[in-house]
């Protein structure tokens, strides 16, 4: 197992037997290409893209900078990550992209979160295109909502902890097949509408 990150944390370092590869910044394609070389001849069965940012701006406060930053990290970053990892994926393989229910247009009942919602919707449609393009290579793509998780992003409020969320997401990744590629799942196992 390999864990790509910008800089290892204590929690990540405690993950055995993960090999940690640093300097993987999803907004820096040159750094990504340099970090990926560390995989050598290894081929991966799963790629799970986790990184993301949330700026809780409202209509009055939002800025171009904030919107573009969220699009860059949350939508462009995962696309570039998949492109970078593609030569290193086994056949068959599975890709899980951590998106958010806030990116669902159907389930947007409260508004707000402009940049975050826009970026996760963009990621969702990118994931759908990837599912079409990668199907013939035997690579399945799933859009995953981790739940409301107690992490730094939520100020450590939420319904579940990171380990419960990870278990749920791994279960989904294990269960879903290429036949179900290009679908959007809640950590509880509920299919989320676009
Ligand atoms: N927590 C929730 O309730 C919730 C709900 C729905 C969806 N999500 C999604 O789940 C994913 C994980 O969220 P989280 O709650 O764990 O957030 P988090 O605690 O804020 O962690 C975000 C992670 O993304 C990394 N990251 C940010 N910018 C990056 C960049 N440019 N390049 C590489 N890595 C970068 C951060 O790395 P550094 O340590 O280097 O800063 C950090 O490890 C995100 O995609 C988020 O949108 C979370």
Per-residue pLDDT, 60: 94
45-186 topology per CATH: Rossmann fold (3.40.50)
Q: How far apart are CA 169 and CA 184, in angstroms?
A: 12
Per-residue pLDDT, 15: 81
Q: What is the mean pLDDT of each run of 10 residues along the chain (194 residues)?
A: 94 86 97 96 97 94 96 98 98 98 98 97 98 98 98 97 97 98 98 98
Minimum-distance ligand 1 atom for the alpha carbon of 150: 1
Per-residue pLDDT, 79: 98
How far, in Å, is the centroid of ligand 1 from the Cα of 53?
6
**Contact of 81 with 32, CB cutoff 8 Å:** yes
150 lines ligand 1 (CB under 6 A): no
80 lines ligand 1 (CB under 6 A): no
How far, in Å, is the centroid of ligand 1 from the Cα of 179?
29
**Contact of 162 with 150, CB cutoff 8 Å:** yes
How far, in Å, is the centroid of ligand 1 from the Cα of 152?
8
Per-residue pLDDT, 177: 97
Q: Tell me the domain boundaries of the chain.
A: 1-42, 45-186
Q: Where would I find the beta strands (DSSP E) of 62-182?
A: 89-98, 139-145
Residue 92 neighbours by CB under 8 Å, 6+ apart: 138, 139, 140, 178
Minimum-distance ligand 1 atom for the alpha carbon of 120: 47
146 lines ligand 1 (CB under 6 A): yes
Per-residue pLDDT, 82: 98
Residue 151 neighbours by CB under 8 Å, 6+ apart: 158, 162
152 lines ligand 1 (CB under 6 A): yes
How far, in Å, is the centroid of ligand 1 from the Cα of 136?
30
């Amino acid at each position: 197992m390999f864990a790509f990150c910008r800089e290892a944390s204590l929690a990540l370092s405690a993950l055995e037997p993960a090999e940690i590869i640093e300097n993987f910044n999803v907004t820096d394609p040159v750094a990504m290409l340099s970090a990926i070389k560390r995989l050598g001849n290894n081929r991966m069965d799963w790629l799970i893209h986790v990184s993301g940012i949330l700026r809780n701006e409202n209509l009055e406060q939002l800025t171009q900078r904030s919107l573009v930053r969220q699009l860059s990290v949350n939508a462009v970053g995962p696309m570039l990550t998949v492109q970078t990892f593609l030569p290193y994926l086994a056949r068959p393989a599975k890709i899980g992209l951590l998106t958010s229910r806030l990116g669902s247009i159907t389930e947007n009942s409260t508004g707000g979160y402009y940049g975050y919602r826009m970026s996760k919707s963009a990621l969702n449609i990118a994931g759908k295109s990837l599912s079409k393009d990668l199907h013939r290579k035997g690579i399945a793509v799933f859009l995953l909502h981790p739940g409301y998780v107690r992490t730094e992003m939520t100020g450590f409020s939420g319904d579940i902890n990171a380990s419960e969320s990870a278990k749920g997401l791994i279960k989904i990744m294990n269960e879903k097949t290429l036949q179900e590629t290009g679908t959007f799942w809640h950590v509880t196992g509920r299919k989320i509408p676009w």
